[in-house]
């Protein structure tokens, strides 16, 4: 690996540049990274890239799922739990079944077991792909919550299908009652193990004398501990990481200090930013090895199979989107549903069009063994791998590139937020100011005159409440405020250079405070 260090360093630099370009031209960065990987793979002399499945499942998958779980709203996940769980489990199984039937009838040499194996690989939309693309397109909050929640859980259900199909394809046997028992244990055991380990880590944060740095290190150890422990006990490592991450995220204010929370979010965002970039670049770079594995299979025929399987996946998912709406409209007569109103035809269509596949599918395909226990080649392994690659490429490029157009042409109905974000933000700020004024007046009235800083803070809160105007041109106000902060920052830097005996740590502390004020402005914009 060291002999290609310069090449890997170049890839990291290229990934950074392409992500900046993607933001500039308003294209989801996974699309550009996969295309760049494809182009680089054709350059003569480029070192061969081989994706090890263990590398994806152990090194990439736990931290990416963990960060996604921390970013997911538990409230939204619970609100849309029925449709999320139906898409993450029922729809994934139905998709795998559809692919299995299609492969069995239309792809020569594919048994139903091999079809299920392929279906288990390509059935789950990828959490990383969905999260990356949703950051570049504007979708209603409910739609984003459903897609993010589904993508967190569907890897677990698809990998369970994949494992059982692998056994059936390799042995020719499938015992339903054993499979059902294993499925229950993988789900319940995975969630239980994740919660237990998450609870242990929460107690470690509370009991041990941690600081921001050690808190961050513990958050890095947690997802790998959850994943490996669950896999060792033959449960779902994916569900362990997701459940543990959701638990710790929900309780983060109980065991992490404000400094730890701020720094942890920053570090994790940067870390997963790099991992995401590497993952999508690797997909494109792996093309030569995948094509070489086809052997005697005609590449154009294999591409045709890949296109057909992709079409099956898209049609089944769109059908599932409309089926979910119809089911909700029927069930509203018997139970309380999250939204009893018809969402319109646009929302199911968009849900159906957001099924981008990613590196987890590729890693699952690569993990198929080369040979069976008796030494004979694993049937159709190379074709399964190539079809998986075509599915990933088509869903990322076709759906990823056309999704912004579809959202603009057929915008889904958003009933959740009738008011603008600025209005809600302003209302919350005023409410927080009122809470602070009430607290000071009721608990610290006798201290107001004794502490000038407290008196000044009270005055700021009351001034905020007395101002009933919403800042119309927030962008202009933000530019003015940032200019003031820049002037203060320049003064601090100049003072630090002029006074040699001034403690630089004090200057750095005030610079960090200015940075935090600027970051607050950016969060509001």
Q: Calculate the average pLDDT of the chain.
A: 80
The SS3 assignment for 27 reads coil
* pLDDT higher than threshold 70 for residue 215: yes
> Which of 135-144, 332-341, 450-459 bottoms out in mean pLDDT, i.e. has the lowest?
332-341
Task: For 120-142, write each residue's pLDDT tens digit.
Answer: 889 888 766 666 666 666 777 77
367 with 488, same domain? no
Q: Which of 26, 187, 110 lies closest to 380 in space, CA to CA?
A: 110
Instruction: Report which listed range, 232-241, 341-350, 442-451, is most confident.
Output: 232-241
Whether residue 289 has pLDDT greater than 80: no
Q: Let me know if residue 17 belongs to a domain.
A: yes
Asked whether residue 385 is domain-assigned, the answer is yes
Look at residue 330 and tell me whether its pLDDT is greater than 70.
no
The more confidently predicted of residues 372 and 342 is: 372
R_g of the chain, CA atoms, integer Å: 26
Task: Report the percentage of the chain scoring pLDDT > 90.
Answer: 14
Out of 202-206, 311-315, 341-345, 429-433, pick the least confident. Answer: 341-345
Do 440 and 338 belong together in one domain?
no
485 and 453, same domain (yes or no): no
Residue 275 counted as domain residue? yes
333 secondary structure, DSSP code: T
Residue 425 lies in a domain: no
Same domain, residue pair 396 and 457: no
Write down the pLDDT at residue 225: 96
What pLDDT is recorded for position 308? 94
Q: Domain check: are 479 and 450 in the same one?
A: no
The mean pLDDT value for 30-48 works out to: 82
Distance of alpha carbon 374 from alpha carbon 363, whole angstroms:
24
Produce one character per residue of 164-192: b if its CB has 16 or more CB atoms within 10 Å, e if not.
bbbbbbbeeeeeeeebeebbeebbebbbb
Residue 419 has pLDDT above 70, yes or no: no
Same structural domain for residues 16 and 113?
A: yes
Domain count along the chain: 3
| pLDDT for position 76 | 79
**pLDDT mean over 490-509:** 77
DSSP three-state, residue 48: coil
Residue 69, pLDDT > 90, answer: no
285 and 310 in a single domain? The answer is yes
CATH of the domain at 259: 1.20.1530.20
pLDDT on residue 472? 53
> Which of 10-24, 260-274, 401-415, 466-480 bottoms out in mean pLDDT, i.e. has the lowest?
466-480
150, 317 Cβ separation under 8 angstroms: no
CA 166 – CA 113 distance, rounded (Å)? 8
Q: Are residues 371 and 301 in the same domain?
A: yes
Q: Is residue 415 included in any domain, yes or no?
A: no
**Does the pLDDT value for residue 300 go beyond 80?**
yes
Angle formed by the axes of helices 29-41 and 400-409, nearest 10°: 150
For residue 212, pLDDT over 90 is answered with no
How many whole angstroms separate alpha carbon 20 and alpha carbon 345?
35
| pLDDT above 60 for 1 | no
> What is the dihedral angle through the alpha carbons of 285, 287, 293, 297, rounded to the nearest 10 degrees?
180
In this structure, of 5-9, 77-81, 466-470, the range with the lowest mean pLDDT score is 466-470
Phi, psi of 172 (to 5 degrees): 75, 10
Q: What is the pTM of this model?
A: 0.80
User: Which has more pLDDT, 140 or 308?
Assistant: 308
Nearest Cα neighbor of 81 from 156, 142, 151, 149 is 149
In this structure, is residue 419 part of a structural domain?
no
Q: Are residues 391 and 519 in the same domain?
A: no
Q: Is residue 427 part of a domain?
A: no
* pLDDT value at residue 72: 80
Band the pLDDT of 282: cuts 50, 70, 90. confident
Q: Are residues 299 and 441 in the same domain?
A: no
Q: How high is the pLDDT of residue 337?
A: 55
* Residues 94-116, mean pLDDT to the nearest whole number: 90
Highest-scoring range by mean pLDDT, 158-167, 189-198, 479-488: 189-198
Q: Report phi then psi at 80, rounded to 5.
A: -105, 30
- In this structure, are 509 and 464 located in the same domain? no
- How confident is the model at residue 194, as a pLDDT? 95
pLDDT, tens digit (0-9, with 9 covering 90-100), for 337-362:
555 565 666 777 888 888 888 777 87
- Does residue 4 surpass a pLDDT of 90? no
**Residue 517 domain-assigned (yes or no):** yes
Per the structure, the complete domain to which residue 283 belongs is given by 2-409
Positive or negative, the CA dihedral 455, 461, 465, 466 is positive
pLDDT of residue 421: 62
What pLDDT score does 127 carry? 65
d(CA 311, CA 394): 10
Final residue before a domain boundary, out of 446, 469, 492: 469
What confidence score (pLDDT) does residue 147 get? 81
Q: Which residues contact 481 (CB under 8 A, 6 or more apart)?
A: 521
The per-residue DSSP string of 474-509 comes to HHHHHHHHHHHHHHHHHHHHHHHHH-TTS-HHHHHH
Cα-Cα end-to-end distance for the chain: 43
Q: Which of 96, 163, 149 is nearest to 369 (CA)?
A: 163
Q: Which residue has the higher pLDDT, 522 or 57?
A: 57
* Mean pLDDT computed over 172-190: 76
- Residues 234 and 126 occupy one common structural domain: yes
Please say whether the beta carbons of 173 and 378 come within 8 A. no
Yes or no: say if 396 and 128 are a contact pair by the CB < 8 Å rule. no
* Boundary (domain end) residue, out of 422, 444, 469: 469
């Amino acid at each position: 690996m060291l002999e290609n260090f310069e090449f890997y360093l170049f890839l990291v630099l290229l990934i950074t540049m392409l992500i900046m370009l993607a933001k500039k031209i308003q294209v989801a960065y996974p699309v550009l990274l996969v295309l760049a990987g494809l182009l680089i793979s054709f350059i003569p002399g480029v070192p061969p890239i081989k994706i090890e499945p263990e590398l994806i499942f152990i090194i990439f998958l736990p931290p990416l799922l963990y960060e996604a779980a921390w970013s997911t709203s538990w409230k939204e996940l619970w609100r849309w739990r029925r449709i999320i769980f139906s898409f993450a489990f029922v729809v994934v199984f139905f998709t795998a079944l559809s692919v299995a039937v299609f492969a069995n009838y239309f792809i020569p040499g594919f048994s139903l077991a091999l079809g299920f194996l392929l279906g288990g690989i390509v059935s789950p939309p990828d959490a990383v792909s969905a999260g990356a693309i949703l950051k570049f397109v504007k979708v209603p909050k409910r739609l984003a919550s459903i897609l993010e929640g589904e993508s967190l859980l569907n890897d677990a259900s698809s990998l369970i299908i994949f494992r059982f199909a692998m056994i059936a394809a390799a042995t020719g046997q499938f015992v339903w009652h054993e499979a059902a028992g294993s499925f229950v244990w993988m789900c319940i055991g995975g969630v239980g193990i994740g919660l237990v380990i998450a609870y242990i880590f929460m107690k470690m944060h509370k009991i041990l004398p941690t600081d921001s740095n050690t808190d961050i290190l513990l958050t890095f150890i947690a997802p790998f501990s959850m994943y490996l422990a669950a896999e060792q006990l033959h449960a779902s490592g994916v569900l362990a990481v997701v459940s543990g991450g959701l638990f710790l995220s929900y309780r983060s204010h109980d065991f992490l200090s404000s400094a730890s929370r701020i720094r942890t979010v920053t570090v994790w965002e940067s870390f997963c930013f790099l991992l995401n970039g590497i993952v999508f670049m690797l997909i494109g770079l792996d093309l030569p090895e995948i094509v070489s594995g086809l052997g005697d299979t005609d590449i154009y025929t294999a591409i045709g199979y890949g296109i057909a399987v992709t079409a099956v996946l898209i049609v089944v998912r769109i059908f599932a989107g409309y089926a979910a709406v119809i089911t909700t409209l029927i069930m509203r007569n018997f139970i309380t549903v999250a939204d009893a109103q018809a969402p319109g035809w646009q929302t199911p269509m968009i849900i159906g069009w957001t099924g981008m596949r990613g590196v987890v599918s590729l890693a699952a395909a690569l993990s198929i063994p080369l040979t069976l226990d008796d030494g004979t080649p694993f049937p159709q392994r190379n074709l399964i791998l190539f079809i998986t690659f075509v599915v990933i490429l088509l869903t990322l490029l076709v759906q990823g590139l056309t999704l912004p157009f579809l959202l603009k042409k057929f915008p889904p109905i958003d009933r959740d937020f009738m008011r603008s974000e600025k209005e809600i933000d302003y209302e919350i700020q005023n409410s927080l100011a009122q809470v602070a004024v009430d607290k000071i007046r009721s608990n610290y009235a006798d201290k107001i005159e004794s502490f000038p800083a407290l008196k000044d803070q009270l005055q700021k809160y009351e001034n905020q409440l007395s101002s009933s105007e919403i800042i119309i041109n927030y962008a202009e106000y933000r530019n003015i405020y940032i200019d003031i902060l820049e002037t203060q920052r320049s003064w601090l830097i100049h003072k630090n250079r002029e006074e040699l005996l001034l403690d630089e740590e004090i200057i750095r502390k005030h610079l960090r405070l200015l940075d935090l004020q600027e970051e607050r402005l950016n969060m509001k914009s």
